[in-house]
């Protein structure tokens, strides 16, 4: 059974990257505990607009934990206190009546701030683009079992492919590293037979682009795995490091 709670929000407000930001305090009243975190922000924004104030800017799209658009640091945790949950799927029953909730954007050099809780994550798109494509024959679709794939490799690839590119791993890492994201995108192709022809080029190019974007390096804090809403494993980072070493020697 849902109940109503009242919260005090301390929200980061910043007009743009050139303007200094600051926290502002808002009251979120009569919030249904069955509502999502983003629905709670909708209620707060509706109240701000009625008062003639500018609403809080935040990213969202599918609100189903699929697109990777939403994201904020809630009480010091990327996507909030619920493990393996996106911000849009975080329900207000995880909070108690009277709680104070601090909400901040992802903070990383590779994610320049646009406004309030919105950051520019296009660096991830450029890293993906640097990976290129896989070699396939065009024309009629091949028979599904034409290329045998061992089950352990298929499972690993599918697990890595769950990454939605939300950036929580970067936000949680003390080094603002994008290694978990990049390794997931490298691994889900590199472990499959179809990804072998471009394997060397893919890992070299994607890691080089990651470094170019200004993300930090991995120092094995494992905060990325803990914050990932899809539970992507750090074993992908180890796999990418091995692939990169081999590719660098062969290069």
**DSSP codes joined into one string, 152-214:** HHHHHHHHHHT-----HHHHHSTT-B-HHHHHHHHHHHHTSGGGSTTHHHHHHHHHHHHHHTT
**Confidence label for 236 from pLDDT (cuts 50, 70 and 90):** very high
The confidence score (pLDDT) of residue 134 equals 79
The confidence score (pLDDT) of residue 139 equals 77
Average pLDDT over residues 180-209: 95
Q: What confidence tens digit (pLDDT) does each residue in 114-129 have?
A: 999 999 999 999 999 9
Report whether pLDDT(143) > 90: no
The confidence score (pLDDT) of residue 11 equals 98
Tokens of 248: 């660098």
Report whether pLDDT(1) > 70: no
Q: How do the domains of the chain map onto residue ranges?
A: 4-104, 122-140+149-250
Please state the pTM of the whole predicted model. Answer: 0.93
Average pLDDT over residues 182-193: 95
**Do 215 and 206 touch, CB atoms closer than 8 A?**
no
Q: What confidence tens digit (pLDDT) does each residue in 15-56 have?
A: 999 999 999 999 999 999 999 999 999 999 999 999 999 999
What CATH class is the domain 4-104? alpha beta
Tokens of 166: 């939300």
The confidence score (pLDDT) of residue 146 equals 80
CATH of span 122-140+149-250: 1.10.1060.10
């Amino acid at each position: 059974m849902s109940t109503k709670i009242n919260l005090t929000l301390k929200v980061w407000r910043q007009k743009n990257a050139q303007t200094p930001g600051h926290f502002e305090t808002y009251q979120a009243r009569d919030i249904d505990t069955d509502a999502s975190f983003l629905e709670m922000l909708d209620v707060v924004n509706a109240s701000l607009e009625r008062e003639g104030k500018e609403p809080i800017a935040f990213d969202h799209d599918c609100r189903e934990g699929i697109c990777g658009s939403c994201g904020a640091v809630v009480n010091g945790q990327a996507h909030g206190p619920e493990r393996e949950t996106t911000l849009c799927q975080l329900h207000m029953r995880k909070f108690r009546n009277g709680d104070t909730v601090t909400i901040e954007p992802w903070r990383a050099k590779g994610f320049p701030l646009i406004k309030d809780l919105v950051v520019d994550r296009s660096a991830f798109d450029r890293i993906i683009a640097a990976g290129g494509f896989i070699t396939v024959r065009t024309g009629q679709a091949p028979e599904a079992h034409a290329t045998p794939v061992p089950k352990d490799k298929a499972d690993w690839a599918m697990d890595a492919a769950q990454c939605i590119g939300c950036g929580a791993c970067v936000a949680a890492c003390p080094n603002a590293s994008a290694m978990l994201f990049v390794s997931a995108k490298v691994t889900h192709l590199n472990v499959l037979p179809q990804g072998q022809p471009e394997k060397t080029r893919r890992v070299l190019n994607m890691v080089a682009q990651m470094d170019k974007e200004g993300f930090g390096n991995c120092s094995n804090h494992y905060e990325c795995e803990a914050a990932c809403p899809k539970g992507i494993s750090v074993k992908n980072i180890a796999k990418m490091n091995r692939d990169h070493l081999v590719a660098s020697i062969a290069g």
